Amino acid sequence: MVFSLFKKPAEKMPERKAARPKPPPAPERPAGDLAPQLAEPAVPAAPVQEEPKKELPPLEFSDSQFDFTDSAVMAIEVDQDIDPVQAEIEQAAVLFANAQDSAARAVLETSARAHSGADAERLWRMLLDLVQVLGDRGAFEKLGEEFARVCETSPPTWRTISDKAPAPVAAGPRAIVLQGVINGGALPEFDQIRAMLQKKEAVRVDLGKLASCDEEAAAMLCELLRLARKQGVVFAIEGADGLVGRLETRLVMGQAESPNSWLLLLELLQQLGRQDPFEEKAVEYAVTFEVSPPSWEAVKAPPVAKASSPAPILVPTDDIHFLSGELKNCRFDDLRAFLDLHDRPVIDFGHVKRLDFFSAGLLRNIIEPFKRQGKEVLIRNPHHLVAELMGIVDLQSVARIIVPKY
């Protein structure tokens, strides 16, 4: 096939002339001066040559080429700072809340052995609480030994989690509440306790709201507890688990500091009837201070009412609301009235085995209006799986949560 060297220019669509003002008439030229008006001869179009194809560089996607919005309208949020340990903790807590115990146990066993330090201790305590809730004492003892070796601290003690809340107690003296941070031993509450002991009256002291105490206050509490034993008077301690856990964390064997706090810890363990932890801490105290430790003494139990005595009047235990069992789709029907009645209400989770996600969220919604009213709601004694779920729903923003280490 032969291609022509000259190609007729392609015909173009005639353009519509834009409306323009008519120019003034040109001056007349002589008849012989027509050369400038003649059209120039057409020049043939040059042949069209195809340019060689260029290889394009590969596409690179980078932040300099594409800007992604972080607006919530896009419904895409990328979090680069997710803590993997926290993610595993939340996963195990939600699995347990959904009664997927085997899956939760698998996550905790794998994660606890994969981490170290404080993160590992959180995971281990969740795992030990899980096998305790499941009633697997053999696994608890075995895992407790591994926990002690990895975390270099004493393992939790086995306890039976009852799904029944304590029954109302017989009417008697109101509990003397020690709360906040106590500095010094000259407190009206201490004087009141001493006066009752000297009269050989039974004493009830609530430590559930006690955050901490200094050495002077610790020494005074020890003195009052010893006086009660010497007088043979019942000295009932309530809500001591939180304070015991904080003392165990703060007092370190080999650091010869806070001797009165050590002695208070031993007194409280004795009051709670925990002889094995008492013996262990007594040895640590002796090693730390190079002195003989206190010996175990049985605490006098409350007197048993005689058969001929009239039945006591049952009343609620002050400002404590007890929850128990497995809280699934729980509506907390009587909780609002309880919170409305008391200025400093306490919700006790010591007998709660499981809390599901719905109930945890609803509990937060119930407490929030009372928080706005200025009430300090205390949630005490949840085991670590329940406590971590409370953290997921941000329950700690509306209530103070005390988790014992047992």
Neighbours of 29 (CB within 10 A): 10
Give the pLDDT score at 186.
Answer: 73
Give the pLDDT score at 131.
Answer: 95
Give the pLDDT score at 71.
Answer: 30
Give the pLDDT score at 99.
Answer: 95
Closest CA to 187 of 176, 198, 197: 176
- Average per-residue pLDDT in the chain? 78
Max avg pLDDT among 96-110, 182-196, 307-321: 96-110
Structure tokens that stand for 14 in this block? 């005639």
Give the pLDDT score at 173.
Answer: 55
Whether the per-residue pLDDT at 69 is higher than 50: the answer is no
Give the pLDDT score at 158.
Answer: 87
169-170 and 314-315 beta bridge pairing: antiparallel
Instruction: Count H helices and E strands in the chain, helices first.
Output: 12, 9
Structure tokens that stand for 326 in this block? 């497995």
**Position with higher pLDDT, 46 vs 118:** 118
Give the pLDDT score at 32.
Answer: 47
Q: Decide: 133 and 385 in contact? Cβ < 8 Å.
A: yes
Give the pLDDT score at 211.
Answer: 82
Whether the per-residue pLDDT at 53 is higher than 70: the answer is no
List the domain boundaries for the chain: 84-151, 175-289, 318-402
Residue 200 pLDDT level (bands cut at 50, 70, 90): confident
Residue 313 pLDDT level (bands cut at 50, 70, 90): very low
Whole-angstrom distance, CA of residue 297 vs CA of residue 274: 11
Give the pLDDT score at 28.
Answer: 52
Give the pLDDT score at 395.
Answer: 96
Max avg pLDDT among 78-82, 100-104, 151-155: 100-104
Max avg pLDDT among 156-170, 292-306, 323-337, 379-393: 379-393
Q: Decide: 132 and 350 in contact? Cβ < 8 Å.
A: no
Give the pLDDT score at 233.
Answer: 85
Residue 185 pLDDT level (bands cut at 50, 70, 90): confident
Rounded percentage of the chain residues whose pLDDT exceeds 70: 71
Neighbours of 382 (CB within 10 A): 24
Give the pLDDT score at 143.
Answer: 94
Give the pLDDT score at 25.
Answer: 54
| Cα dihedral across residues 76, 77, 82, 86: positive or negative | negative
Whether the per-residue pLDDT at 7 is higher than 60: the answer is no
Give the pLDDT score at 300.
Answer: 55
Q: Decide: 155 and 144 in contact? Cβ < 8 Å.
A: yes
Max avg pLDDT among 78-92, 158-172, 275-289: 275-289
Whether the per-residue pLDDT at 367 is higher than 70: the answer is yes
Whether the per-residue pLDDT at 325 is higher than 70: the answer is yes
Residue 191 pLDDT level (bands cut at 50, 70, 90): confident
CATH fold for the domain made of 318-402: Transcription Regulator spoIIAA (3.30.750)
Give the mean model confidence (pLDDT) for residues 207-214.
85
Instruction: Provide the 3-class DSSP secondary structure of residue 393.
Output: coil
Q: Does CATH number 3.30.750 belong to domain 175-289?
A: yes
Residue 55 pLDDT level (bands cut at 50, 70, 90): low
Whether the per-residue pLDDT at 352 is higher than 90: the answer is yes
